[in-house]
Each structure stands twice: as structure tokens, then as C-alpha cells.
Chains A and B, each alone.
Chain A
Amino acid sequence: MSEQISALMDGELGTAEANPLLATIRENKALRQDWNDYHLIGDVLRQTVISPTDLADKISVRLKSEPTVLAPHKFAPRKREFIALSVAASFAAVALVALSSLKFSAIDDAPDNLAAQSNLSSNTSVASQSNPSINEYLVAHQEFSPGTALLANSNFAQVTYTKQQDKAR
């Protein structure tokens, strides 16, 4: 089971496998703990300052606050909504973890002290949000960079794209 959770965290499971597994994790306290622990371990290894740990914690708090349903009929609609939310949140966590592990493999080839010197948030997506400049720079860089030609039109460009939409209105 822990192997499956690990695969889920690495984004290796399709929706068909992931959904039942997420449901199982939600139901089982021990697995939930594993899930949180794995994220925590990953975060510590990657020296992640921000979100994933935070997010996993928040999810865990919300999961714990999930009411023990004594009168299912009464609470059913709210509960369904909540499950949908927590599944979405879990996927968000998976996405973030996937992103940080990529970052880890890239930073990995830096001399050890470099990562420690870094003052900047080590998660670019967060840096992009707090620092719109990074995103603009990335879009500008991609005019010249073959490797990321398509990246320019996807992840990063979404910010530019939104701005254009605003302008167009």
C-alpha cells in the first residue's frame, strides 16, 4: 500500500487508480499518517520552506475535522461537497510535490553551499506569484530558448494570457 501511495505522490498513477486510493487514504487513519509523513520527509529532504508541508498539514487538519457522521442523511450533501474539495486539494498537493521534486533534481547538481545561500523562495511557481518579474522574464527568455519553446505557451504564459484577457475586455 505504501508503494502505491509513493507512486501516487510521484504522479505515476492515473485517475482510475488514484481516485480509489485517495478514498482509501481518506478512510484509513494510518495511511493518512503515512501520506503526511511522506510529504514531510520529501519537504525536509528538499529543504522546501513553503507550501507542500503547509498544504499537507492543512489537508490533514481538514481531514481530521471531518465530522463523524452519526446522522448521514442530514449531512450527506455537505459531506459530498467536502470530499470533492479534499480530493481536489490532495491532487493539488500531489502536483506541488511533483514540482518540488523536479526542482530538487535540478538544484541537486549545485555545489552544496549554493542551495543554503539561496534567499529566494526555492519554488518558482510561488516566486512567480509574489514576483511577477520572474514570470515576465521567463516569457521573454523563451523567445530564444528552443528547449522551452512550448513551455512559453503553457505554464508560465498563463499569467500573460490572463492579462491579455483583461485588456481585451
Chain B
Amino acid sequence: MKYLVLGFVSLFFLSGNVQADSHQIDAISWLKKMESAAHQLTYTGTFVYQHGSNVETSKITHFMDDAGEHEKLVMLDGLPRETIRINDEVYCYLPDSKTVKVEKRNTRKFFPALLPKEIDKIAESYTIKLGEIERVAGYECRAVVLEPKDELRYGYKLCGDVTTALLLKATLMNRKNEAMNQFAFTHLAIGGQIDKSQFKPKSLWSKHTWQADKSVVLDANNNETGWLIKQPPSGFVKTKEMKRAMPGKTAPVTHLVYSDGLATISVFIEPLAGMAHPMQGLSSQEQVNIYAKLFNDYQITVIGEVPVATVMQFANSVVNPGQ
């Protein structure tokens, strides 16, 4: 509660500043406030996720208390799905199949908490500028534009509520400055009371099948799988390394995750022996590019929301020094 009060006081102070002189806030500290607001604030709202010609609508409820961060996401279109996140545990509930999927160590980022903790690192790969004041879901928001410094990644435009800094709209932009996908609130209430009983997943879904995540996470700093990217493209560092069991596969698949703070790239390495259909070449769906190639007796597949050249560069830099 103390923090909340403190938060509101400082935000009030900040909003005064915004109105007084917009040049006084710099873009990076505004990004940091946006990062924190998504986790700290209480809010309920509806947002849309537009990707390609698809629009998906979700209802979000979020609050923070002594037990930590709580978030409930109900997808309103398509297959019925609900996700409850309590700190880093995620419960994904699929009512039709009476299944609950559990991830114990959530790394997924959900709107509006899209920003990483390490904002300063983003500045290495993106030029960060304050944008204009826009209006989203009835709120005035201050935009920050992140322009990629090279051609290895896409750009972003993030717009945060001028009063609370809550991210209201996030747009992924290609090099022609066209939107590739976009999250945006259409309705939002910040603050207020939340019915906390809706955040008890186990009692609500006790009669369902529970599925635990079966991947084994290894230390990202050691090359425990033996695989690595020789000279990853600038700005990208390895954030996760794991071996994971995958449906229909006998051998575990090596999964390396690289990130520049915003864009994420997955590198999958799998023995060819276990594969019925080896893959080679480029493929893409909306903002996601995929490049597959064969390397010795292995299938290398790189997936990322980055330009084609980047996934190719990753795939061509895969090595296993131990072999």
C-alpha cells in the first residue's frame, strides 16, 4: 500500500511535469515508468491484439498485493481460454478440453507488461525518442518511438498513459514504418477494487487434467547443451538455454533463446535421425520469420519476430565446438 501511495504521489508529480514541459521527461525514464506501472498498478480492461488481418480481444484484470502480482486474462474470441498468472506461475485453462497447463517459471510477456526490466540495454540496439501525445481508450498517452539502429530488428511504438504511465498501446513497425502488429486497450479502468476470489486457480479447476511444463532449463551462461551461436548479431544475448521434451519427439530438442531486450529469437537444434520431415528454407507468418537448415546430422530451425536476414544469420552461426 505504501508503495502504491508513493507511486501515485510520484506519478502525480510526473503528470504535472508532462503538462508543464514535455521536454523535461526523457524517453528512457518514461519507458522505465511504463515498465514498472504494468506490474505495480491495479487495472481492469479490454484490449485488442491485431496481427495481420486478425483481431483478438482479451479481458485483463491485474493487481499487486503482499502475495505478489496477479493477472487474469480471458480471451473473448475463438477457442475459450483463460490464463491466470500469479508472479511467475502461469495457469492456462482450456475449458473445452478440461485441461489446465501449468508453467512454473513464466518468461512470457503479456500486454501491457511487454517491456523488460533492463531498459538501458534496449538503448544499445534502438534509438529511443519521445513521441507525440495520443489518445487511446479515452486516456491521453505519451508515445515513445524505438527505432532500430540497424536492419536486424523491427521498430516499436509504445504509448503510456500520461498520468499513470500504464502502457495503453504497443505497435511493432517494419522498416517502412508500417504496423505489423498492435496491442491496444479499448476500455480501461485504472485503480479500484478487484474481486480476489477469481485468482484461485486450483480450487476453480480442481477436476481438470493438469499438465506440467516438461522442459529442463539449463544455465544460460554455460553452454551446457554444447550448442552456441558464434558471434550472435549485435545486441542479442542468450537469455535461456534448455532441453525440452516435445510432443511426438523421442529425443529432447535443444532450445536456445536470444534477445535484444525487445525482439526474441529461438534457435532449435534437433537430431535429424528422429525427424520424419527435415526442413530447409525460409518461411513466415505475419511478423514471424522462420529459417530452417541442415547442419551435419542436425536440423537447425530459427524463429523470431525479426527480419529474414537476422534469422538466417543466426542459423548460419550455429556451432557445437565439442563435436
Q: Is A120's CB under 8 angstroms from B282's CB?
A: yes
Hey, which chain B residues are within 8 Å of A153, CB to CB? 75, 79, 81, 83, 92
Name which of B5-13, B17-25, B126-134, B288-296 contacts chain A: B288-296
Known contacts: A122-B282, A136-B247, A137-B266. The answer to whether A150 contacts B301 by CB under 8 A is: no
Q: Is the CB of A11 within 8 A of B75?
A: no
Determine if A33 is an interface residue (Cβ-Cβ < 8 Å). no
CB pair B285 A164 closer than 8 Å: no
Instruction: Please report the C-alpha to C-alpha distance between residue A40 and residue B180 in the assembled complex, in whole angstroms.
Output: 25
Residues in A103-134 with C-beta less than 8 Å from chain B: 103, 105-107, 109-111, 114-115, 117-125, 127, 130-134
Chain B min CB distance to A74 (Å): 41
Could you tell me the distance in whole angstroms from the C-beta of B239 to the nearest C-beta in chain A?
7
Is A168 positioned at the interface, with any CB of B under 8 Å from its CB? Answer: yes
Which of A122, A131, A134, A168 is close to B99, meaning CB atoms less than 8 Å apart?
Answer: A168
- Cβ contact within 8 Å between B248 and A136: yes
A140/B277 in contact, CB under 8 A: no
A164 engages B211 (CB within 8 Å): yes
Docked-complex contact A146 and B262, CB < 8 angstroms: yes
User: How far apart are A6's CB and chain B's nearest CB, in angstroms?
Assistant: 14
B interface residues, Cβ below 8 angstroms from A: 49, 51-54, 56, 58, 75, 78-79, 81, 83, 92, 94, 96-99, 101, 103, 107-111, 114, 172, 174-175, 178, 180-181, 209, 211, 215, 239-240, 244, 246-249, 253, 255, 257, 259, 262, 264, 266, 268, 270, 275, 277, 279-290, 292, 299, 301, 303-305, 307-309, 312
User: Which residues on the A side are within 8 Å of B259 (C-beta)?
Assistant: 144
A28: CB under 8 A from chain B?
Answer: no
The answer to whether B279 touches A127, judged by C-beta atoms less than 8 angstroms apart, is: yes
Partner of A134, one of B56, B107, B290, B308: B290
The reply to whether A158 and B290 contact each other, CB–CB distance below 8 Å, is: no
- What residues of chain B lie closer than 8 Å to A83, measured between beta carbons? none
- Contact between chains at B283 and A110 (CB < 8 Å): no
The answer for the CA separation of A109 and B109 in the assembled complex, in Å, is 27
Q: Are A137 and B268 in contact (CB under 8 A)?
A: yes
Complex contact B287–A106 (CB within 8 A): yes
Q: Across the interface, name the chain B residue whose C-beta is closest to A152.
A: B108
> CA A98 – CA B175 in complex, angstroms?
21
9 tightest Cβ-Cβ pairs between the two chains A and B: A120-B281, A146-B109, A110-B308, A118-B281, A141-B266, A124-B285, A106-B284, A165-B97, A119-B281
The answer to whether B283 touches A133 (Cβ under 8 A) is no
Say if the beta carbon of A154 comes within 8 Å of chain B. Answer: yes
Q: Does A51 contact B (CB under 8 A)?
A: no
A-B contact pairs, 6 of them (CB 8 A): A106-B286, A106-B287, A106-B308, A121-B283, A133-B277, A154-B79
Cβ-defined partner of A110 (8 Å) among B172, B282, B286: B282
Partner of A144, one of B78, B107, B174: B107
